[in-house]
Chain A
């Protein structure tokens, strides 16, 4: 692709060559905007050829199930990127939501119907506090959400004195917790629609559609992006950029806690070490999304595709017996490649 671009940028050339150049430039633009999809298709074909079991519907669904949480969190990060911010606390919000859900059911004995709204409210509250720090106290977004990340990572350990939460937990005061995970709650992580599509994948698709419509096709979405694009201009156009930022961080916090709910429902216990690589994976998905369709900006669809792309690659490589410890290297290579595609090669287009 680089050579095509070099060719197309060449100022010399006869008229006939000019037409060829025009055609080549068009081709290279198409290739660039579709690069992620083309690579994804190539990966799917390649893995299927190497290992026919890869293309089983069951395996494909397990890929989607594995990336659902990352995709949901990535969509949330995308919204904060749209307002020109960055939410580094999502991983910690998801992890503490796992603990909060477990604590609510096992210690307080609540059922699924009360636990889910409670945990979502917790995520929204964290987003609100983030926004308060950023909008009111003018703390730079990276610092505010980084501090929130530390705060939550510590906070989730306090109620149980650092222990993981499962049925029969012995509380710090010596009593034994009597509650248990609500079977209805576990369905979120373990059930499948029509026995085929896991509920978590359905949630991912719903989040993707809702946020895609919100960010790309509504007035609010336009204003969210306007805030990130030119905050002064947006304020002078009469919009409250403060409220828009609050909205973005509340969305991101709520989605992170939704991710936490999915994890809790899958593992069925409140593990203190859950959600370790969630932040980085979600951020990577959002950034890979910049390259999708050649958008060169945060976009929800891109974040979802980015998450799926990484999931397909990891699943396929695992099937081909690639060792587990190469996973981070693969993710990093994909991210570097996507960013090079977005910024380095894409720049020639403008």
Chain B
């Protein structure tokens, strides 16, 4: 008798089919790993299970009862609790650990109006004891480490009688030691009869705790692996082909690098590393979420700082304190999460396609300050033709474009003026396959600059790069020409 039974679950977003008939079961007392590349349908599945999204078609049964939660609260009431990657939303600064543990109870109806300090402490202590965790009850939530926040979330889930715990990349921001502690706890909970759906790219994690691995691809479960799990086969199922480079035009660049990092540390206590990139080369840095990819790119772009070490751009010291200085030196960056980092809200000045491209170049294109003459219009027309952007024209609101086309516009912004080093952080986030192909072609067609791409998806790294570097715990751990070595590296 499975605890959770999902049959032919489908869900579409407009023309995109995120889930197309996923079928799986989860039993009580097992840890099931869920693997899949970006866009495989993992997060849609999790959102349906946790009551964030309604299912399109198909059935879900929890303990033989139809299960269709309309809100996360309904899902939790039925015994399905999700602990997200980002644990900031579990509590709030100013709340103690005890308050945070009892937050869902405060919010529930039928609770007494008055609460006493000692009552809260007693109940919170009981919750922690039941979960077997040791956390400081009076500590402010804001002062907790990411690992402890995660434990608070798990303890709260258990106190609400969770039977299925969904963990989304739980070790992304944990140290090795903290991860190990979490695994011990998860195993103990599993032995107590809890079902755990564990979503992660890290094969090391999965090897340590998963009883079973399910691989998603194209909105269905493409493969199921029992212990001992064959991870090479699982990864090949995940990316849909043999692990080998698909690059016929690989470029091995020699000579003086255009950009170098020497003895760089991203955090004061992370391991130092070196990095050299040549003009004409496309280098991908891959690693799990929270491994330090964005931090590395931000430091090169002047939006963050190196803890120590130094950088050379074109043979000269590169110490940007602001993005403006980095741009002036010839570094460009399309940062992660385009909505937060690149685009203007709808209906706001500067939210058109042309204005999105021109934002960093206004001073250069309009030296007299008045937005007169069609420079940004012409640049936008060029970009639309070159990158095959689907839009009604240069004045189209950026919000009216699909994710892939928005990403093309962001790329066009930084290609509109020449740069020595182009940094792209997760350039394929929320981008469909067709647009991804166009973007890769555009990136690879330029040989007059160096390109450094950060991506958490190894498949994307293979597709776009000449050379792949692996980052883990805020340090480059391996540089590899061989794709198989990369797959070992990223999952080591």
A residues near B (Cβ < 8 Å) are 213, 216-223, 225-226, 228-230, 232-240, 295-297, 350
Contact = CB atoms under 8 A, between A and B. Distances in A.
Interface stretch (B53-61, B116-124, B320-328): B320-328
Nearest to A217: B371
A349 to B, nearest CB: 9
Interface in B278-335: 301, 303, 322-324, 326-328, 333, 335
Contacts, number: 88
B348 interface: yes
B323 A226 contact: no
Contacts of A232: 340-341
B351 interface: yes
Nearest to B333: A236
Interface string B359-389: 1101100100111100000000000000000
A245 B333 CA distance: 24
Contact of B370 (A218, A228, A295): A218
Please classify how large the interface on chain B is, using the bins under 10, 10 to 19, 20 to 34, 35 or more: 20 to 34
A341 to B, nearest CB: 15
A226 B344 contact: yes
B350 interface: yes
Contacts of B360: 237-239
B206 interface: no
Interface of A (DSSP majority class)? helix
Contacts of B343: 230, 233
Interface of B: 301, 303, 322-324, 326-328, 333, 335, 340-351, 355, 359-360, 362-363, 366, 369-372, 413
Given A223-B362, A233-B342, A234-B359, A218 B347 contact: no
A350 B371 contact: no
A235 B323 contact: yes
Among A228, A229, A232, A238, chain B packs the most CB atoms within 10 A around the CB of: A238
Contacts of A239: 324, 359-360
A225 B362 contact: no
13 contacts: A213-B370, A219-B370, A225-B349, A226-B350, A230-B343, A232-B341, A235-B323, A236-B301, A236-B323, A236-B335, A236-B342, A237-B323, A237-B342
A222 B322 CA distance: 20
B201 to A, nearest CB: 26
A19 to B, nearest CB: 21
A234 B371 CA distance: 17
A123 to B, nearest CB: 23
Contacts of A240: 322, 324
Contacts of A230: 340, 342-345
A219 B350 contact: no
